[in-house]
Amino acid sequence: MAKPKRRFICTECGGISHRWQGQCPDCSEWNTLEEEVAETAFSAKHHLATGGRRIQFEALDTPTTPLARSTTGLAEFDRALGGGIVPGSAILMGGEPGIGKSTLLLQAAAAIARSGKDAVYVSGEEATGQVRLRASRLGLADAPIRLASATSVRDILTTLGDGTPPALLVVDSIQTMHSDMIEGAPGTVSQVRASAFELIRYAKENGVALVLVGHVTKDGSIAGPRVLEHMVDVVMSFEGERSHQYRILRALKNRFGAVDEIGVFAMEGHGLAEVSNPSMLFLSGREEPLAGSAVFPALEGTRPVLVEIQALIVRLQSGATPRRAVVGWDSGRLAMLLAVLESRCGLNFSSAEVYLNVAGGYRLSDPAADLAVAAALVSALADKPLPLRAIWFGEVSLSGEIRPVSHANLRVKEAAKLGFDQACGPLLDSPPAGKMRYGGIGGLPGLVDRVMVSA
């Protein structure tokens, strides 16, 4: 028999190499390759065309029972999940340390337990005393959760296997779990994968909704290999700036629903409070028009959220390389927008430092933000404030055109409700109706003209 091959797996991207290297050949990260014990050496002589069990094929229209979702008791959590938690599904919850993952899941487990279902919370990171302390601070001490501190997957599954399976099983975190089926310390790629595999199999076989907490790496992906994301049904990310109060729960992958809805929470003294109407959250207390500030009506699923975009331009005297710093938006997109503004409008940012900030710790991913960012930049550069009660939205193309974006009506309607009276966006055949004044802009030069004559 052939000698078992050594394999090395990248902890960042899951890429496989057959020898150890300092740098992963797939994702170019350094020191991320870890050796994995090869389970079996495959032999070319065996082929699998005989000896198996026959499988049944089915037609796509075979009647199935509809997905039974159950509510977690936290409406914002349910919303982000696409309408509740599906029994027998596996959810991976990622997020930076201290963002509130354990708090959120403890609250969800408590809500489920209080509704009369069985919720199990296994912490591999904190002692039960610590979790109890938090629960009492959150006012959840009376919730009939089954709480344990454990890291051995075998212990957990042996214990759960004895009784009726719970409705919810929270494992906090998968990086602390250990499977004795394979070697290696907790947190290594093969351990994370093996532990997750066993837990997911238990969940699927017993109709248990499983939530695995996963740490994230510096670039924001869930630590451990990508394979973890493939193994689960739902990947959620809990985001926000730790220094800010607001947290956003977002599904990055969902086998049972759309991934465009978000859940919004505020971290308060007594835990995470749900924010059911987030449209005003990310506007700072704006009283007077300020140069460099523009309001953008972002769309999160079906809910518009108004966010303030702030730009600051600092002219440099010396020939030093100017900085570009972005918080809450894509820095590549900012570079592109600056280049388009320079080449299509003749503006000069090359000797100036550019700082861009999305207020309130919000992360923008909607491409319709381009026009609002451009408006903030031009306004900051010209030191001319934009009208206080105006919103800006539209996608900017490389040619400097303003392109239409989805749901212009919805965006405008929400802003009008909040007292805005002017909207600037792409040229539209039928501009949004209502009290709001709509100004269509064809291209970036038109934007510059508009900023120059504004308030």
Return the range that interacts with ligand TYD (CB under 6 A); candidates 254-262, 268-276, 352-360, 383-391.
Answer: 268-276
Distances (CA, A) of 285 to 184, 206, 223, 241, 424: 52, 50, 37, 19, 21
Which residue number, 97 or 442, has a Cβ lying nearer to Mg ion?
A: 97
**Is the omega angle on the peptide bond into residue 173 within 30 degrees of 0, that is, cis?**
yes
The verdict on 102 binding Mg ion (CB under 5 A) reads yes
Host H or E run for residue 251? strand 246-254
Binder of ligand TYD out of 72, 102, 279, 379 (CB under 6 A): 102
CB 94 within 8 A of CB 238: yes
Backbone φ and ψ for 145, nearest 5 degrees, come out as: -80, 145
The verdict on 293 binding Mg ion (CB under 5 A) reads no
Q: 262-268 and 146-149 as β-strands: parallel, antiparallel, unpaired? A: unpaired
CB 121 within 8 A of CB 145: yes
Which residue number, 102 or 179, has a Cβ lying nearer to Mg ion?
A: 102
Give 413-420's long-range contacts (Cβ < 8 A, gap of 24+).
413/304, 414/279, 414/297, 414/304, 414/306, 415/295, 415/297, 415/304, 415/306, 415/391, 417/279, 418/279, 418/280, 418/306, 419/389, 420/295, 420/306, 420/389, 420/390, 420/391
Binder of ligand TYD out of 14, 84, 100, 292 (CB under 6 A): 100
- The contact pattern for ligand TYD, residues 134-173, with x = CB under 6 A and - = no contact, is x--xx-----------------------------------
CB 186 within 8 A of CB 180: no
Which residue number, 93 or 368, has a Cβ lying nearer to Mg ion?
A: 93
Work out the burial of residue 276: count CB atoms within 10 Å of its CB; fewer than 13 is exposed, 13-18 middle, 19 or more buried: exposed
The verdict on 221 binding Mg ion (CB under 5 A) reads no
Q: Which of residues 270-329 bind ligand TYD (CB under 6 A)?
A: 270-271
Return the range that interacts with Mg ion (CB under 5 A); candidates 23-31, 96-104, 324-332, 401-409.
Answer: 96-104
Which residue number, 138 or 231, has a Cβ lying nearer to ligand TYD?
A: 138
The verdict on 267 binding ligand TYD (CB under 6 A) reads yes
The verdict on 394 binding ligand TYD (CB under 6 A) reads no
Binder of ligand TYD out of 10, 89, 91, 101 (CB under 6 A): 101
The verdict on 11 binding Mg ion (CB under 5 A) reads no
The verdict on 388 binding ligand TYD (CB under 6 A) reads no
Strand partners, 30: 23
**Binding partner of residue 100 among ligand TYD, Mg ion, none, CB cut-off 5 to 8 Å per kind:** ligand TYD
Give residues in contact with Mg ion (CB under 5 A): 102
Footprint of ligand TYD (CB under 6 A): 95, 97-103, 134, 137-138, 267, 269-271
